Copies of this chain bind each other. A is one copy, B any other.
Amino acid sequence: MFTNEEKEAIYKVIYSRRDVRSFTSDPVPKAAIERILEAAHHAPSVGFMQPWNFILIEEEEIKHRLAWAADKERRALAIHYENDDRSSKFLNLKIEGMKEAPLTICVTADPTRGGSHVLGRNSIPETDIMSTACAIQNMWLASCAEGLAMGWVSFYKKSDVRDILEIPPHIDPVALISIGYTDGYPKAPILETVKWEKRKELEKLVYHNKWPVLT
């Protein structure tokens, strides 16, 4: 059971967690990283398959190569925005801070973990990466609780990340995570602040008993 104070703390972290792209160079305490990884490992997983691995990257050269892969993807995507109203906004967005953050974590999902017939994954195979996303969300909440900033980078070609980190072909490098301290933890989502997207009204996303006929 949870006290009211405990409940408030849990909702506080759920509401205040933000995706961060700017970091200071201050080192991250090892004990905090261990707690963040334990939180990840206590995420739910379909069939208890625990499909995740965590590659902790502190070597400068490897971080620079990952940042190169992300920047290459950013420049390629800029081409797709070139006739879009949001073109200049896109070019001004800082999409990652991997060279600044003291720690990058590549989170992977192994679709073969747990053998050929994983309970639940047998019916819906993508529950392996969804389980890994639950682990990442736990990392995010734990980082926020620790006073640390975290960013989830999804601008890259998986083949580049596999090459750089020597990840076997069947393993899915689902996320590049930056962790560090930041000056000024954002109060609102960055994409809301720069007016890229708005938060939707929750009540419009909730239906009853079936999908409505939308007119």
User: Chain A residues in contact with chain B, CB under 8 A?
Assistant: 1-2, 5-7, 9-15, 17, 19, 35, 37-39, 41-44, 46-50, 52-59, 62, 73, 77, 80-81, 84, 90, 93, 95, 108, 114, 117, 119-124, 126-127, 129-134, 136-138, 140-142, 144-147, 152, 154-158, 164-168, 171, 174-175, 189, 191-192, 196-197, 199-200, 202, 205-211
Contacts and interface: CB of A to CB of B under 8 A. Distances in A.
Contacts of A6: 9, 12-13, 145
A35 B200 CA distance: 16
Given A145-B7, A146-B7, A207 B130 contact: no
Contacts of A168: 211
B209 A59 contact: yes
A14 B129 contact: no
Contacts of A174: 124, 126, 130
A127 B86 CA distance: 21
A5 B5 contact: yes
Nearest to A77: B122
A167 B54 contact: no
A54 B207 contact: yes
Contacts of A9: 2, 5-7, 9-10
A171 B147 CA distance: 37
Contacts of A17: 42, 44
Nearest to A155: B123
A126 B41 CA distance: 21
Contacts of A171: 211
Contact of A154 (B123, B147, B202): B123
Query: Which of A19, A48, A142 has the largest number of chain B CB atoms within 10 A?
Result: A48
Contacts of A37: 202, 206
A13 to B, nearest CB: 5
B5 A191 contact: no
